[in-house]
């Protein structure tokens, strides 16, 4: 979703901002803009619908003209993607510039009030309303300081925002604020950076402040970083974090796309997820977050998993894992539904939120609701220090490393790894899982990175070839049973989000209750059919499909004969316990989606209309 970059220091602000916006491209956007404060303290602005390259094409003359500035990539909410709606937005008097990530929900009321007072608006955005509200407060009281006017304005709006504001009469000053959308301040040597995450400034500094909810900061070379509460202006002493992120982690490392790099990183990312947690020789799983709260989990009325998208699919597999091994009642909910349906929840419930970004607005809101109702809140996030990670009572990071491709791959398998660890740990602790079974499963889990490495080696070229035959497909069905039903949902989601081919996932047995009507010789059906996990039933499903001339692409275990003989395409993966098979089976399905999308010429890392962290409802 929208990305913000700001800079004040001694380097060329244009270069820093443009390079920073490129780093944030992965978040998803449809237009981009920049404003610089030139040597005479006047603004130079450029903005356009399209990509950062389009912005560069119209703004290169600004290079080398300023050492203070800010930029923005916009993901349209209020108003279509257009030059006019792009940020920065400038106040009516031309003196204040503002970039914004989020949604001002009461913008309409404020717009009416400002319109009555003579303000005019060039765009359809909520952001232009906010920048004029700041002007309005400064005009109401000529003595009002610029940061104070920003604070007044922020107290009038509700919704979600991360903003950065500049004022021509306050040269060298950047004012930032946050509620609901993330913002980091990089602390350099005689320079400061602002960004939606730390990736734009990782090569310049390893020290950052992550602005907390409801806080704002005034940043200048003269006075440093002054953090205040938006509500009452009280001074806040910030925590300075040491960044663990490296430049290498956020570059493509020779791969054509981040998505492919991230698919290939999975042996390492799964290993990193388990590192220090799974100690097979000692027969233990050590997870601080769970360890300290074991009784909360094992005595829970029920565990509710809340998430969105791919993380929700991981949650479904988590339900199977925890119910099977720990025998604790689990429910999985879409965060967006949970929060609005007045759920019954209390202090005997444990809520697990799963989120790669840790910033998803729906998941965050659902968590806050569960917290208010007294539930114990556990987070499974990939991004360290993200908003969700910070409001949970406890949690486990997935440690998959930065995921830049919009389509989630390595974060998904890392989430499944964490959920496996949690389920096995709880099962061992409450006695639902025998020691023998526990040892067998953790040994297998420990071997998964090696297995994934084998799968990548043995299936990559094959899948790349198979994908060519499906470039013109219009629809796909993905089927699986048991643990592989959510894996089918995830396979279908991957395909539709990056190739724009319509795809649906179903439990294989549900096929006969409707989707079977779709099957003909033009309908490709991906079927996940490992040996362990209702294999005989899957065989019958494949027969039903073949009887209707459907084209079957089967993911089977090495050496499989029965399904393989009937299938049109076969991808072999090594055998695992059923509970881990989604981790292994997902890898060729990610490759399949990736290559189909590449052959169709789609923008794999930044699919249309999608955002990496969805910070609006």
- What positions carry a catalytic annotation? 2, 612
Beta carbon nearer to ligand F6R, 73 or 357: 357
Residue nearer to ligand F6R on the CB measure, 459 or 613: 613
Secondary structure of residue 470 in the 3-state scheme: coil
Q: How far is CA 146 from its chain centroid?
A: 34
User: Tokens in use for 187?
Assistant: 């602390």
Residues 6+ apart with CB under 8 A from 430: 298, 326, 327, 328
Phi, psi of 148 (to 5 degrees): -65, -40
Q: How far is the CB of 374 from ligand F6R (least distance, A)?
A: 23
Residue 236 per-residue DSSP state = E
- The yes or no reply on residue 269 touching ligand F6R (CB under 6 A) is no
In angstroms, give the least distance from the CB of 505 to ligand F6R: 13
357 binds ligand F6R (CB under 6 A): yes
Alpha-carbon distance 424 to 348, whole Å? Answer: 21
Q: Which residue is nearest to ligand F6R (CB)?
A: 309
Q: For residue 352, state whether it binds ligand F6R (rule: CB under 6 A).
A: no
Under the binding rule (CB under 6 A), the answer on residue 196 touching ligand F6R is no
Backbone angles phi, psi at 184, to 5 degrees: -115, 145
For the chain, what is the total number of helices (H) and then of strands (E)?
A: 19, 27
Shortest gap between Cβ of 478 and ligand F6R (angstroms)?
A: 14
Distance CA 354, CA 372 (A): 18
- Asked if 31 interacts with ligand F6R (CB under 6 A), we say no
Backbone phi and psi for residue 42, each to the nearest 5 degrees, phi listed first = -100, 155
- Report the residue from 17, 285, 308, 375 that binds ligand F6R according to the rule CB under 6 A: 308
Task: Identify the residue among 311, 459, 541, 564 touching ligand F6R (CB under 6 A).
Answer: 311
Which residues inside 423-462 make contact with ligand F6R, applying CB under 6 A? none
Question: Which H/E stretch holds residue 304?
Answer: strand 303-307
Provide φ and ψ at 335, rounded to 5°. -55, -40
> Binding residue for ligand F6R (CB under 6 A) from 227, 407, 555, 616?
407
| CB of residue 431 to ligand F6R, shortest distance in Å | 33
Residue 9 or 180 having the CB closest to ligand F6R: 180
Whether residue 88 is preceded by a cis peptide bond, meaning omega within 30 degrees of 0, is yes
Rounded to 5 degrees, φ, ψ at 249 are -65, -25
The one among 85, 127, 218, 355 contacting ligand F6R by CB under 6 A: 355
Q: Contact with ligand F6R (CB under 6 A): which of 180, 614, 615, 616?
A: 614
Residues paired with residue 552 on neighbouring β-strands, in sequence order: 525
Residue 291 vs 334, nearer CB to ligand F6R: 334
Q: Which stretch binds ligand F6R (CB under 6 A): 36-44, 289-297, 353-361, 449-457?
A: 353-361
Q: Give the interface segment with ligand F6R, choosing from 302-310, 315-323, 531-539, 550-558 (CB under 6 A).
A: 302-310
> Which residue among 67, 199, 310, 557 contacts ligand F6R (CB under 6 A)?
310
Contact predicate 453/267, CB 8 Å = yes
- Mapped onto helix, strand or coil, the DSSP state of residue 161 is strand
Residues 6+ apart with CB under 8 A from 181: 1, 2, 101, 102, 160, 161, 162, 196, 359, 615
Among 69, 88, 289, 309, binds ligand F6R (CB under 6 A): 309
Please tell me whether residue 48 binds ligand F6R under the rule CB under 6 A.
no
Instruction: Report the site for ligand F6R in 476-535 (rule: CB under 6 A).
Output: 493, 497
DSSP-assigned letter for residue 41: S
Out of 363, 459, 541, 606, the only residue in the binding site for ligand F6R (CB under 6 A) is 363
State which residue, 134 or 587, has the beta carbon closest to ligand F6R: 587
- CB of 184: closest distance to ligand F6R in angstroms? 17
Does position 356 interact with ligand F6R (CB under 6 A)? The reply is: yes
Tokens coding 84 = 């006019």
**Minimum CB distance to ligand F6R smaller for 309 or for 401:** 309
- What is the SS3 assignment for 358-420? CCCHHHHHHHHHHHHCCCEEEEEECCCCCHHHHHCCEEEECCCCCCCCCCCCHHHHHHHHHHH
- Restricting to residues 573-602, which ones interact with ligand F6R according to CB under 6 A? none
Report in angstroms how near the CB of residue 389 gets to ligand F6R at its nearest: 11
Measure the CA–CA gap between 286 and 289, rounded to whole angstroms: 9
Strands 215-220 and 224-229 turn out to be antiparallel
Question: Least distance in Å: CB of 355 to ligand F6R?
Answer: 3
Does position 408 interact with ligand F6R (CB under 6 A)? The reply is: yes
In the complex, what is the shortest distance from the CB of residue 308 to ligand F6R, in angstroms, rounded to a whole number?
A: 4
Site residues, ligand F6R (CB under 6 A): 308-311, 355-357, 360, 363, 407-408, 493, 497, 613-614
């Amino acid at each position: 979703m929208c990305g913000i970059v700001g800079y004040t220091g001694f380097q060329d602000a244009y270069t820093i901002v443009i390079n920073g916006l490129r780093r944030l491209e992965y978040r998803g956007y449809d237009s981009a803009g920049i404003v610089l404060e030139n040597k005479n303290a006047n603004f130079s602005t450029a903005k356009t619908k399209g990509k950062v390259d389009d912005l560069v094409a119209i703004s290169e003359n600004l290079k080398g003209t300023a050492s203070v500035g800010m930029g923005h990539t916009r993901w349209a909410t209020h108003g279509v993607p257009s030059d006019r709606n792009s940020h920065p937005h400038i106040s009516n008097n031309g003196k204040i510039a503002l970039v914004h990530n989020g949604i001002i929900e009461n913008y309409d009321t404020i717009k009416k009030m400002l319109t009555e007072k003579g303000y005019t608006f060039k765009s359809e955005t909520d952001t232009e309303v906010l920048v004029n509200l700041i002007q309005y407060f400064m005009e109401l009281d000529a003595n009002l300081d610029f940061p104070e006017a920003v604070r007044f304005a922020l107290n009038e709006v509700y919704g979600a925002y991360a903003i950065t504001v500049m004022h021509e009469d306050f040269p060298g000053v950047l004012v930032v604020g946050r509620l609901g959308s993330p913002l980091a301040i990089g602390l350099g040597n005689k320079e400061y950076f602002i960004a939606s995450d730390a990736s734009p400034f990782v090569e310049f500094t390893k020290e950052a402040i992550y602005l907390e909810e409801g806080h704002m900061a005034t940043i200048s070379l003269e006075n440093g970083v002054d953090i205040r509460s938006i509500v009452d202006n009280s001074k806040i002493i910030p925590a300075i974090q040491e960044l663990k992120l490296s430049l290498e982690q956020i570059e493509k490392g020779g791969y054509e796309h981040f998505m492919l790099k991230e698919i290939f990183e999975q042996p390492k990312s799964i290993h990193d997820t388990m590192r220090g947690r799974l100690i097979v020789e000692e027969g233990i799983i050590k997870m601080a977050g769970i360890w300290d709260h074991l009784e909360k989990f094992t005595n829970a009325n029920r565990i509710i998993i809340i998430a969105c998208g791919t993380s929700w699919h991981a949650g479904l597999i988590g339900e199977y894992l925890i119910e099977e091994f720990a025998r604790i009642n689990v429910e999985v909910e879409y965060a967006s539904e949970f929060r609005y349906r007045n759920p019954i929840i209390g202090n005997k419930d444990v809520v697990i939120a799963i989120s790669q970004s840790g910033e998803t607005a729906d998941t965050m809101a659902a968590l806050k609701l569960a917290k208010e109702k007294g539930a114990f809140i556990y987070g499974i996030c990939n991004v360290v220090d993200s908003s969700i990670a910070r409001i949970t009572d406890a949690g486990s990071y997935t440690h998959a490393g930065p995921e830049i491709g919009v389509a989630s791959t390595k974060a998904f398998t890392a989430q499944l790894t964490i959920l496996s660890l949690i389920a096995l740990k709880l099962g061992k602790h409450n006695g639902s899982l025998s020691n023998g079974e526990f040892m067998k499963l953790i040994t297998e889990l420990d071997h998964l990175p090696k297995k994934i490495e084998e799968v990548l080696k043995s299936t990559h070229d094959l899948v790349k070839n198979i994908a060519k035959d499906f470039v013109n497909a219009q629809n796909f069905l993905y089927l699986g049973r048991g643990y592989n039903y959510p894996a089918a949902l995830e396979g279908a989601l991957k395909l539709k989000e990056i190739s724009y081919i319509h795809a649906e996932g179903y439990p294989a047995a549900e096929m006969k209750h409707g989707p079977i009507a779709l099957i003909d010789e033009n309908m490709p059906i991906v079927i996940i059919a490992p040996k362990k996990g209702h294999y005989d039933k899957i065989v019958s499903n494949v027969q039903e499909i073949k009887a209707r001339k459907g084209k079957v692409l089967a993911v089977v275990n090495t050496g499989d004969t029965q399904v393989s003989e009937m299938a049109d395409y076969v991808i072999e993966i090594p055998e695992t316990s059923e509970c881990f098979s989604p981790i292994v089976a997902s890898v060729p399905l990610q490759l399949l989606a990736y290559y189909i999308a590449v052959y169709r010429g789609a923008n794999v890392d930044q699919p249309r209309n999608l955002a990496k962290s969805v910070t609006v409802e």
